[in-house]
């Protein structure tokens, strides 16, 4: 294998530099500011992006190599009855996803060596493509005896296990990113050929097969391909995949095919597939203006944030089927919260913001981003969680890779894309959605604008925005986060115990700004000049969150937040079993930054509070011990070995015991059976 | 009204003493020993029967008088447009049920005055009967404008609210009892006429209406009438009511009409209606030998005792619809456990014993009898519970009567019938099912046998049985209770924390008896002679019971039993809020009998144990206080005013809090929302 790769790398490649056609408008009322226009400076995200560049992406490529992902393309180039099918029908996508992530990095950090490496990989990919564009190594490598889950013939199992359309989706996503980052078509043209092959075979027309993806993603990818190429056939195909869903032989809730998509109103089934589909619905709705899609995803979003969202912004309560649970079914120890599902939920919320321009979508996005999503990757970028539970009795640690490697490769492509989520523009107004150090080149009302952001967010709430170049008469919309507006999550799934006045200040060149919030944003309308400085300050004292009483797993417990960060109790910071802790009825918290703890968690702030540890003496009497409980940000847990962890902390006796019981299945004391 | 009654009493009555026809055989493999053959001597039940005779029955009759139950018959005798319908469509049955109870008493304690009073009442009843036998005062009193729930025409609402068949059922039950006790036909003939009227109008035949009872009981009553009169038409009618169920316009689970009765396998809907129907199914099965009925009630019984039975032997988890809940849905504070349903469950278990001859049916019957049933009536016999909850935060007290008086009048007829449940006979073997002081005239293997029982049961486990007259070669089957056999209830709904060897001894004339249990009975086969003495002793130390973990309301809690009695904690015996109590992990109990407590609870034994009371100090810290917890028998609660009570006691923290939460809805402390 090594030889093949090396020889491939040897091939000198020059992607055709044919003039890029200007992308079409997405149709969203709000324009994204692409990741290519935002350079993240140092700080919280700078560290994450560096880790992604220096560790995650190289690791992912090396795993693609060592785990045989490239071999599959080589085998497909030389079909044989002796070729063995790979581990999973979607192994090819690990390659596509890593290239996508690498492409985002190339944009920000040009890297000839990396670009050449990718080109060499693309040689292998292109070589595996069949003459009519079909590109699916599990079949091509051994057409006479394809693996069982591939199906005897093309597409025969695409609604179940074969993932032929899923592979197309990630191929297109990666190819478009690579094209936008490098201007080269060597991946894009491969993707277009496979897309054409699918469009030809699948559809409502004569001689076509009416089939929909078993695992969604092609829907949003094909819209992206349409916007990139201008060829409407891809948009039609995306719409077909959505509209045919629930009308083909596949009719189950697991794959969101229990009813036509426009009639759906509850988030059900496999959480990743679901979010990818909702994102695709939003994209098609934006381009076509079809509001029935929008009504459906609005209803589904209400269901998710109102009944199925973890406080960490994670989704998917059940390991079984990697799926959403029933309303309010949000167990902590057995929470699934797949990293990929968190990424999918970011896609959905971002698109709903582009449609509706409301801050609440970014409130959910930020909650997921800072908690349930980045918990999926270690601070050094080298190991990953597949599920992200909210409690642990030990046995959980991040791994460098998985046989089913969707999460690491999804992290590879998501983290580098983060800069694209910071700003958005609508006509002559700018949305500032995320607070992190960066410099951005925007186009507002047709004029160029360079904005700089300086902040230690999420550790403190001070943000300094400077107009570095350009200016003019426009409105700067500053998102006032839900945790400042007393709304941890839209709806009544979670609420702050200590409701208080939203505490924030905004000044322009030192002058206080007074204005009413609009859709969660503070609008600052003025004639901006170079050098104008906006200073934002959000109060950041720790806050106690209570879950809706209908969430059985959280009854009698509370979670603790500071700013956008959800905190948890972990064993290394506490000299007692955290699963025996009981908070005071009205706990107060101290904020501490201690270098002692800084290693290996990086710069973090701990919280401490007076509490009690509960136990029984030999005569079976309950005893209590005063203790100081230390909390760390949830994303930072599991960096110091395996052990107990809990996000929801008992503040009354029932919860104290319930938590013990959850963990006590093995150490049954004789009364929990 | 008074006049009418007095004049009625004045009427000299001589019920026709026509030769009683010998009752047919019930068809049950085991023969009941009728209540008429067993005289309860003093002790636990002697006191209850005395209270029934001296207080309950006279009270019930006086309430029938003061609450207008008799008026309804008088109004029906003189129909008028101005006659107002009574409170409920089944008010007539309070009269029938009280007469039934009084008849049982007459048998045991002849009482000319009472007999005459009943005869005078029966004059009113007979006078209200229409020429064709129809007897339903709500319609007859005002045929042109019957009450809404009576329906414009006869039977039109019998599957919903009118209760015309329900009234027939209780009429027959009362009439047969009165006939058996007094030999008079003045009630029986009235019942026969109404039964004939119903048999004529309702059925599968030409010109008949296919209708089934909205509220069951006619099924078992008509079998009883068949056995008494020998007229098969009543048996056919009972069978029709069962077989037509679920095939008429009424098809809901509330009234057990969701599917044909022989296809049912779960106890659902209104608990009293359900048990009455199951009892009727058993009766018809016994006479006809139709095993499909038996298979159905066996399945349903398994469901009840395995998933829907309270530790007190009560059934019916929900106030809504007075109905069974879902499997394992057994809330304590909101438990319904209607007294009538407990009585109905006794009927079902007694019949299943007669069919199968297994002790486990009497284990359930005894549990219900000593706990959830007699809790329904005060020790003095003068006040009643309708629901019998297993926990209280105050507000519960027994009342002398209810607008809907089914429970008091059911107690009136059940308690006096108790002697009929003590023994049973099968060929040449005798079953001793209940342990209580009595003298019984039995017929075993054709020979007369007089047995005497002396015991302080349920306070201690020593029972002395003496053959006073007769004898011969027969088998004496002594029931070894489930609480001795380590099986509080058949199945795994409840279990003893301290599994131990069944501890009991049996001697005959001082000689120990060694024999294997058969179906839960210790068989003592020998040639019995006058003067033989059997001494039984059951160990009676307190035992701790745990519920199946699937019963959420009992998780982390335990109940305490001693002998057949379930205990509870009640406020007057404890100087702390019992809802804050936490038991030791392995609690031990002391048994105490103190005259101090004897008033007004009668002779009872208390249990005490070391425990802790939990509370919070002003800084919100949990604090514990060592306390001595005192328990009393569940049946004896609510005799000393209203206040806190609990059967299931927290032995771990979650339960401690859960219980507080259950009661805390009103006194929300800010963390339970």
- Residue A499's pLDDT is 72
Sheet arrangement for strand B521-528: B31-32, B423-426, B429-432, B472-479, B521-528
Burial annotation B452-482 (CB, 10 A radius, 16+ → b, else e): bbbbebbbebbbebbbbebbbebbbbbbbbb
Closest partner residue to A654 among B584, B621, B658, by Cβ? B658
Give the distance, in angstroms, between the CA of residue A169 and the centroid of all CA atoms in the same chain: 17
DSSP-derived pairing of the beta strands B590-592 and B533-538: unpaired
Lowest mean pLDDT among A30-44, A165-179, B201-215: A30-44
- In chain B, the largest separation of any two C-alpha atoms, in whole Å, equals 83
Quick check: A656 pLDDT over 70? Answer: no
CA separation, residue B229 to residues B194, B195, B224 (Å) = 14, 12, 9
Across the interface, do B623 and A622 touch by the CB < 8 Å criterion?
no
What is the spatial distance between Cα B61 and Cα B48, in angstroms, rounded to a whole number? 18
Inter-chain contact A671–B556, Cβ cutoff 8 Å? yes
Are B555 and A661 within 8 A, CB to CB? Answer: yes
Contact A585 B669 (CB under 8 A): yes
Residue B593 CB neighbours (<10 A) = 12
Grade residue A654 by pLDDT with cuts at 50, 70 and 90: low
- pLDDT at residue A194, rounded to an integer: 98
Which of A671, A672, A673 should we substitute to test contact with B (largest number of B Cβ atoms within 10 Å)? A671
Task: State whether A671 and B658 contact (CB < 8 Å).
Answer: no
pLDDT (tens digit, 9 = 90+) per residue, A267-318? Answer: 999 999 999 999 999 999 999 999 999 999 999 999 999 999 999 999 999 9
In contact, B647 and B546? CB cutoff 8 Å: no
pLDDT: is A106 or B9 the higher one? A106
Task: Show residues of chain A in contact with B616, CB under 8 Å.
Answer: 585
Phi, psi (deg, nearest 5) at residue A402: -135, 150
Residues of B in contact with A620 (CB under 8 A): 584-587
Q: Which among B558, B621, B657 has CB closest to A653? A: B657
Q: Which residues of A82-115 are buried (b: 16+ CB within 10 A; e: fewer)?
A: ebebbebbbbbbbbbbbbbbbbbbbbbeeeeebb
Mean pLDDT of the B62-85 span: 94
Kindly report, residue by residue over B131-185, the tens digit of the pLDDT. 999 999 999 999 999 988 999 999 999 999 999 999 999 999 999 999 998 999 9
Torsional sign, CA A318, A323, A329, A333: positive
More confident residue, A149 or B193: B193
Are B586 and A549 an interchain contact pair (Cβ–Cβ within 8 Å)? no
Say if CB B430 and CB B449 are below 8 A apart: yes
The contacts of residue A446 (CB under 8 Å, 6+ apart) are: none
- Contacts B624 to A, Cβ<8 Å: 621-624
Using the predicted structure, report yes or no on whether residue B377 has a pLDDT greater than 60.
yes
Contact status, residue B608 vs residue B630, Cβ threshold 8 Å: yes
Peptide bond into A4 cis (omega under 30): no
Per-residue pLDDT at B25 exceeds 70:
yes
Residues of B in contact with A558 (CB under 8 A): 671
Chain B CB contacts of A619 below 8 Å? 584
**pLDDT score, position A108:** 80
Instruction: Report the pLDDT value the prediction gives residue A595, as an integer from 0 to 100.
Output: 61
> Tens digit of pLDDT for each residue in B620-665?
999 999 999 999 999 999 999 999 999 999 997 654 444 343 333 3
Q: What stretch of H or E contains A437?
A: none
pLDDT at position A582? 93
Distance (Å) from the alpha carbon of B367 to chain A's nearest alpha carbon: 23
- Which has the closest alpha carbon to B363: B520, B236, B503, B233? B520
For B361-372, b/e burial (b = at least 16 CB within 10 A) is bbbbbbbbbbbb
Question: Closest-CA residue in chain A for B672?
Answer: A556
Q: Which are the contacts of A403, defined by CB distance < 8 A and separation ≥ 6?
A: A87, A88
- Looking at residues B83-100, what average pLDDT do you find? 92
What share of chain B in percent tops pLDDT 90?
A: 83
pLDDT of residue B12: 31
Q: Residues of B with CB below 8 A from A546's CB?
A: 671, 673
- Asked if B671 and A653 come within 8 Å (Cβ–Cβ), the reply is no
Q: Measure the CA–CA gap between A407 and B93, rounded to whole angstroms.
A: 71
Provide the pLDDT for residue B600: 66
Residue B669 confidence (pLDDT): 25
* CB pair distance less than 8 Å for A655 and B654: yes
Do residues B526 and B473 make contact, with C-beta atoms less than 8 angstroms apart?
Answer: yes
Please compute the mean of the pLDDT values over residues A468-490 and round it to a whole number: 95
| Angle between helical axes of A92-108 and A112-127 (0-180°, round to 10) | 150
**Inter-chain touch B622–A612, beta carbons under 8 Å:** yes
Q: Which residues on B lie below 8 Å from A626 (Cβ)?
A: 621
Residue B33, CA distances (Å) to B354, B430, B520 in order = 11, 10, 20
User: Which residues from A are below 8 Å from B622, CB to CB?
Assistant: 582, 612, 614, 624, 653
What residues pair up with B32 in beta bridges, in sequence order?
B424
State the pLDDT confidence band at A667, using cuts at 50, 70 and 90.
very low
Closest partner CB to A546 (pick from B622, B624, B673): B673
pLDDT digits (tens, 9 = 90+) for B217-257: 999 999 999 999 999 999 999 999 999 999 999 999 999 99
d(CA A551, CA A306): 11
B544 band by pLDDT with thresholds 50, 70 and 90: very high
Cβ-Cβ contacts under 8 Å, B585 against chain A: 616, 620, 669-671
Q: Which of B657, B631, B655, B656 is nearest to B645 (CA)?
A: B631
Cβ within 8 Å of residue B398, ≥6 positions away: B377, B378, B383, B384, B385, B638
Q: Could you tell me which chain B residue has the CA closest to the CA of A493?
A: B673
Q: What is the pLDDT of residue A10?
A: 33
d(CA B436, CA B419): 9
> By mean pLDDT, which of A240-244, A284-288, A497-501, B656-660 is the weakest?
B656-660
Distance CA A20, CA A37 (A): 18
**In whole angstroms, what is the distance from residue B266 CA to residue A265 CA?**
33
Taken in order B644, B647, B650, B651, the sign of the CA dihedral is: positive
Written as one string, the DSSP assignment of B307-344 is: II--TTS----BTGGGB--STT---STT----HHHHHH
Task: Please provide the DSSP assignment of B463-495 as one string.
Answer: EEEEEEEE-EEEEEEEE--TTTTT-SSSSSSEE
Mutate to test the interface with B, among A586, A657, A665, A668 (most CBs of B within 10 A): A657
Point out the least confidently predicted range of A56-70, A249-263, A498-512: A498-512
The answer to whether the CB atoms of B671 and A658 lie below 8 A apart is: no
Nearest CB to A657 within list B497, B626, B653: B653
Greatest alpha-carbon pair distance for chain A in Å reads 83
Q: Which of A555, A587, A657 sits opposite B655 (nearest CB)?
A: A657
Q: Which of A556, A558, A586 sits opposite B620 (nearest CB)?
A: A586
pLDDT confidence of B107, banded at 50, 70, 90? confident
Strands B494-496 and B543-547: antiparallel
Helices A57-66 and A406-414, interaxial angle, to 10°?
A: 150
pTM recorded for the entire structure: 0.79
Whether the predicted pLDDT of A101 surpasses 50: yes
Tokens of A60: 């992912």
Contact B556 A622 (CB under 8 A): no
What is the per-residue pLDDT across A379-411, written as a single tens digit (0 to 9) for each? 999 999 999 999 998 889 999 988 888 899 999
For residue A545, the distance in angstroms to the closest alpha carbon of chain B comes to 10
In tens, the pLDDT along B480-518 reads 999 999 999 999 999 999 877 778 999 999 999 999 999
Contacts of A664 in chain B (CB under 8 A): none
pLDDT over 90 at B603, yes or no: no
- Rounded CA gap, A645 and A625, in Å? 20
- Mean pLDDT confidence for B200-205: 97
B27 has a pLDDT exceeding 60: yes
Q: How far is B555 from chain A (nearest CA, A)?
A: 7
Nearest residue on chain B to A584, alpha-carbon basis = B620
Cβ within 8 Å, pair B556-A657: yes
Instruction: Please give the average per-residue pLDDT across A582-597, as a whole number.
Output: 83
**Given B549, B587, B657, which is nearest A652 (Cβ)?**
B657
- CB-based contact B585 A616, cutoff 8 Å: yes
Contact A549 B672 (CB under 8 A): yes
Q: Kind and range of the H or E element at A443?
A: strand A438-444
Whole-number CA gyration radius for chain B: 25
DSSP state of A369: I
Task: Look at A653 and B656 and tell me if their CB atoms are within 8 Å.
Answer: yes
Q: Which residues of B touch A670 (CB under 8 A)?
A: 497, 585
**Mean residue pLDDT across chain B:** 91
pLDDT at residue number A68: 94
Nearest to B615 by CA among B585, B660, B673, B569: B660
CA distances from A352 to A298, A366, A424, B670 (A): 8, 14, 13, 35
pLDDT band at A653 (very low <50, low <70, confident <90, very high): low
Find the residue in A nearest to B557 (Cα): A671
The percentage of residues in chain A with a pLDDT greater than 90, rounded to a whole number, is 83
C-alpha closest to that of A44 among A463, A426, A569: A463
- Give the whole-angstrom CA distance, residue B612 versus residue A621: 7
Find tokens 């107002």 and name the residue: B84
Assess whether pLDDT exceeds 80 at residue A661: no
* Nearest CA distance, A367 vs chain B (angstrom): 23
Residues near A156 by beta carbon (within 8 Å), at least 6 away in sequence: A162
Residue B552's pLDDT band (cuts 50, 70, 90): confident
As a whole-number percent, the residues of chain A with pLDDT over 70 amount to 92
Alpha-carbon dihedral sign for residues B262, B265, B269, B273: positive
Q: For residue A584, which residues of chain B lie inside 8 Å, CB to CB?
A: 619-621
Integer Cα distance of B284 and B388 in angstroms? 31
What pLDDT does residue B15 have? 34
**What is the per-residue pLDDT for A23?**
67
| pLDDT of the residue at A85 | 77
A618, closest residue in chain B (CA to CA)? B585
Residues recorded for chain A: 673
Cis status, amide bond into B76, omega within 30 of 0: no
Torsion sign (Cα): A101, A107, A111, A116: positive
Q: In whole angstroms, what is the distance from residue A15 CA to residue B280 CA?
A: 87
pLDDT digits (tens, 9 = 90+) for A535-553: 999 999 999 999 999 998 9
CA distance B252 to chain A (A): 27
Residue of chain A nearest B551, judged by CA positions: A673
SS3 B270: strand
According to the model, what pLDDT value does residue B123 have?
Answer: 97
């Amino acid at each position: 294998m090594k030889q093949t790769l090396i020889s491939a790398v040897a091939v000198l490649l020059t992607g055709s530099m044919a003039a890029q056609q200007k992308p079409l408008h997405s149709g969203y009322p709000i324009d994204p500011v692409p990741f290519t226009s935002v350079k993240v400076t140092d700080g919280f995200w700078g560290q994450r992006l560096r880790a992604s560049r220096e560790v995650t992406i190289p690791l992912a490529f090396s795993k693609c190599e060592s785990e045989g992902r490239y071999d599959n393309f080589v085998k497909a180039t030389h079909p044989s009855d002796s070729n063995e099918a790979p581990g999973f029908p979607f192994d090819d996508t690990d390659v596509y996803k890593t290239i996508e992530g690498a492409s985002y990095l190339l944009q920000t950090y040009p890297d000839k060596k990396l670009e050449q490496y990718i080109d060499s990989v693309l040689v292998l990919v292109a070589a595996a493509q069949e003459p009519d564009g079909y590109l699916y190594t599990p079949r091509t490598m051994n057409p006479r005896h394809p693996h069982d889950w591939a199906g005897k013939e093309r597409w025969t199992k695409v609604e179940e296990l074969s993932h032929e359309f899923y592979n197309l989706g990630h191929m297109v996503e990666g190819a478009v990113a690579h094209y936008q980052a490098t201007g080269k078509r060597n991946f894009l043209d491969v993707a277009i050929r496979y897309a054409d092959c699918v469009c030809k075979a699948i559809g409502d027309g004569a001689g076509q097969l009416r089939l929909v993806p078993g695992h969604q993603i092609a829907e949003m990818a094909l819209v992206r391909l349409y916007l990139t190429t201008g060829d409407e056939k891809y948009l039609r195909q995306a719409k077909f995949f959505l509209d045919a869903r629930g009308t083909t032989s596949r009719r189950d809730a697991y794959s969101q095919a229990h009813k036509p998509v426009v009639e759906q109103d509850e988030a059900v089934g496999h959480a990743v597939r679901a979010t990818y589909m909702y994102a695709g619905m939003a994209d098609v709705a934006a381009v076509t203006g079809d509001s029935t899609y929008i009504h459906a995803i609005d209803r589904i979003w209400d269901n998710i944030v109102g009944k199925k969202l973890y406080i960490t912004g994670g989704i998917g309560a059940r390991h079984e089927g990697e799926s959403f649970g029933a309303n309010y079914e949000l167990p902590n120890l057995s929470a699934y919260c797949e990293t990929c599902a968190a990424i999918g939920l970011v896609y959905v919320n971002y698109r709903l913001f582009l449609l509706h321009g409301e801050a609440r979508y970014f409130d959910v996005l930020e909650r997921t981003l800072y908690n349930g999503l980045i918990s999926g990757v270690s601070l050094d970028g080298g190991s990953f969680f597949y599920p992200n539970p909210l409690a642990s009795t030990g046995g959980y640690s991040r791994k460098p890779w998985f046989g089913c490697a969707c999460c690491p490769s999804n992290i590879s492509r998501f983290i580098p894309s983060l800069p694209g989520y910071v700003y958005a523009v609508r006509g002559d107004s700018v949305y500032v959605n995320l607070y992190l150090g960066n410099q951005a080149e925007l186009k507002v009302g047709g004029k160029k604008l360079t904005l700089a952001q300086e902040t230690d967010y999420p550790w403190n709430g001070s943000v300094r925005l400077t107009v570095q170049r350009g200016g003019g008469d426009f409105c700067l919309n500053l998102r006032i986060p839900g945790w400042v507006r007393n709304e941890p999550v839209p709806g009544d799934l979670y609420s702050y115990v200590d409701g208080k006045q939203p505490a924030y200040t905004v000044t322009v060149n030192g002058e206080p700004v007074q204005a009413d919030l609009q859709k969660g944003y503070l609008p600052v309308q003025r004639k901006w000049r170079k050098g104008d400085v906006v200073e934002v300050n959000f109060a950041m004292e720790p806050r106690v969150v209570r879950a809706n009483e209908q969430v059985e797993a959280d009854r009698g417990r509370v979670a603790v937040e500071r700013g956008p960060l959800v905190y948890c109790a972990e064993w290394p910071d506490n000299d007692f079993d955290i699963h025996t802790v009981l908070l005071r009825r009205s706990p107060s918290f101290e904020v501490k930054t201690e270098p002692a703890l800084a290693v290996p968690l990086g710069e973090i702030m701990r919280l401490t509070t007076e509490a009690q540890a509960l136990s029984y003496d030999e005569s079976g009497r309950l005893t209590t011990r005063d203790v100081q409980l230390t909390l760390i940000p949830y994303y930072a847990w599991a960096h110091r070995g395996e052990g107990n962890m809990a996000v929801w902390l008992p503040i009354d006796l029932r919860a104290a015991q319930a938590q013990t019981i959850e963990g006590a299945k093995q150490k049954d004391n004789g009364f929990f059976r």
